[in-house]
Amino acid sequence: MSGKLYLCATPIGNLEDITYRVVRTLKEVDLIAAEDTRNSIKLLNHFEIKTPMTSYHEYNKIDKGHYLVGQLLEGKNIALITDAGTPGISDPGEELVAMCYESGIEVTSLPGAAACITALTLSGLSTRRFAFEAFLPADKKEKKKVLQELVNETRTLILYEAPHRLVRTLEELYQVLGDRRITVCRELTKKHETAFRTTLSQALEWYTQNEPKGECVLVVEGKDRKKLEQEEQKKWEEMSLEEHMEYYVQQGIDRKEAMKQVAKDRGISKRDVYQELLKRG
């Protein structure tokens, strides 16, 4: 029988945020795969965990992933931990999980700390619907595409950022999204934890003058739904009825359905669309 992969959430700052179940599991498994063994040894020593440890990170995830799957197939139980928080969230853990499923290996997740959820609940912004973006892409073209996708996102946005890139990211968000409410969460669960509730323009001004310190989670309000609907309505009204119809017809939609969609976009009846098009010949 093959072993099992345990995804173990570790503290994002305060060591008391680890669960009894995670501590017990880390002691009982045969091997711990850690993102940074130098960092994780401090955690293991604190809880007197003597289990052997190996590295598993972005730069060795393919070769080490195959090695770990091999160990699991031989019957060993392995715990995966990240530097802080829940494995698989903004780290290569997701790829090891996929490899395990492809090999028929059982995977289980032990819940615990996650910076994105901690920041969201602390933000004072809407928590009912949210979109997690983690770190924005380093590639400029890819980043531009992602930011454009977020322009009309009505859900609360959650992003991660390092302190040395914070000002640049705030500037990019402000330029693309406009001036929205934001909560900048820093040093979560640690002694100097802060939740700075402000706007993108004010946050940009503040951190331009005050050097950011500590890892940050940015929680940004989504676009107002009514404002989005008004903008959509205005966009359609700037088109002629013929252009609006052609927009849908070119997508392969028959004229009857296109007429129905045009009426819905413009907030008028299908009959009104038909009559107006008839007048224009």
pLDDT 10s per residue in the chain (281 long)?
899 999 999 999 999 999 999 999 999 999 999 999 999 999 999 999 999 999 999 999 999 999 999 999 999 999 999 999 999 998 899 999 999 999 999 999 999 999 999 999 999 999 999 999 999 999 999 999 999 999 999 999 999 999 999 999 999 999 999 999 999 999 999 999 999 999 999 999 999 999 999 899 999 999 988 877 777 777 777 777 777 877 888 888 878 888 888 888 877 787 777 777 776 65
Per-residue pLDDT at 244: 83
Nearest by Cα to 7 from 105, 104, 74:
105
The whole-angstrom separation of Cα 93 and Cα 226 is 39
CA distance 215 to 270: 53
Distance of CA 192 to the CA centre of its chain: 24
Instruction: Specify the pTM.
Output: 0.81
* CA dist., res. 102 & res. 150, Å (int): 33
Interatomic CA distance for residues 123 and 211, integer angstroms: 21
